[in-house]
Amino acid sequence: MSRLCAVLLLCLLGSLNPVQAVPAPHPHWSVGYHRLTFPDPLDLQPMDAIAFYPSTGIEHSSRVEGYRIDASEDARVAIGRFPMLMLSPGNTGTPLALHDLATSLARKGFVVVAVTHPGDNSRDHSRLGTLSNLYGRPIQISAAITATLGDPLLAPFVHADQVGVIGYSAGGETALILSGATPDLERLRRYCRERPDDRDACNTRGELIADRDDLQPEADPRVHALMLMAPLSLKFSRQTLAGVHIPVLLYSGDGDTLVALDKNAAALARKLPVAPDFRLLTGAGHFVFMAPCSEEQVAAMPALCTDADGVDREDIHRNLIAEAGRFFTQALGKPDRAGLQTADQ
What is the tens place of the pLDDT at every residue in 250-306?
A: 999 999 999 999 999 999 999 999 999 999 999 999 999 999 999 999 999 999 999
What residues have CB less than 8 Å from 183, skipping those under 6 apart? Answer: 134, 173, 177, 217, 235, 236, 240
Check whether 244 has a pLDDT greater than 60: yes
Q: Given this model, what pLDDT does residue 198 score? A: 85
Q: What is the per-residue pLDDT across 38-79, written as a single tens digit (0 to 9) for each?
A: 999 999 999 999 999 999 998 889 999 889 999 999 999 999
Confirm or reject CATH 3.40.50.1820 for domain 27-335, answering yes or no.
Answer: yes
| Angle at CA of residue 332, ends 326 and 336, nearest 5° | 90
Give residue limits of the domains in the chain.
27-335
d(CA 327, CA 313): 20
Give mean pLDDT, residues 187-200: 89
Beta strands at 277-281 and 248-253: parallel, antiparallel or unpaired: parallel
The whole-angstrom distance between residue 304's C-alpha and the CA centroid of its chain comes to 19
Q: Given this model, what pLDDT does residue 339 score? A: 40
Confidence of residue 23 (pLDDT cuts 50, 70, 90): very low
Check whether 340 has a pLDDT greater than 80: no
HSE-up (13 A, CA, CB side) for residue 337:
13
- Mean pLDDT score across all residues of the chain: 90
Q: Please report, rounded to a whole number, the percentage of residues in the chain having pLDDT higher than 90.
A: 83
Q: Given this model, what pLDDT does residue 89 score? A: 98
Q: What is the per-residue pLDDT across 129-170, written as a single tens digit (0 to 9) for each?
A: 999 999 999 999 999 999 999 999 999 999 999 999 999 999
